[in-house]
Amino acid sequence: MCICVNCRHVQNCITYNLIQQQHNNKCNKKIISNYFIPQETLININIYYTDQTILFDWDLIECLSFIEIPGYWTI
């Protein structure tokens, strides 16, 4: 699970934005003008094979800029 959802920086984080793009998340079309660039992030990419399809699941699992605010992504 991506730790971004409970992070104070989720609304303007460039790494979270990248992960959303990789998930092809079309519902968030908000343009971020003031990007936050986190320090020392670690992204885990799981690869799943189904029949003849390859799926990738991107999750940020470590970030030194992480500041926990549970549910902040819903704001």
Alpha-helical segments (H) within the chain: 14-22
Task: Say whether pTM exceeds 0.85.
Answer: no
pLDDT in tens, 51-70: 888 888 899 999 999 999 88
Q: Would you kindly state where each structural domain of the chain is located, as residue ranges? A: 3-25+36-74
Of 33-37, 38-42, 47-51, minimum mean pLDDT range: 33-37
Identify which has the larger pLDDT, 32 or 17: 17
| 66/22 Cα distance (integer angstroms) | 21
| 71/30 Cα distance (integer angstroms) | 18
SS3 3: helix
Greatest alpha-carbon span in the chain: 41
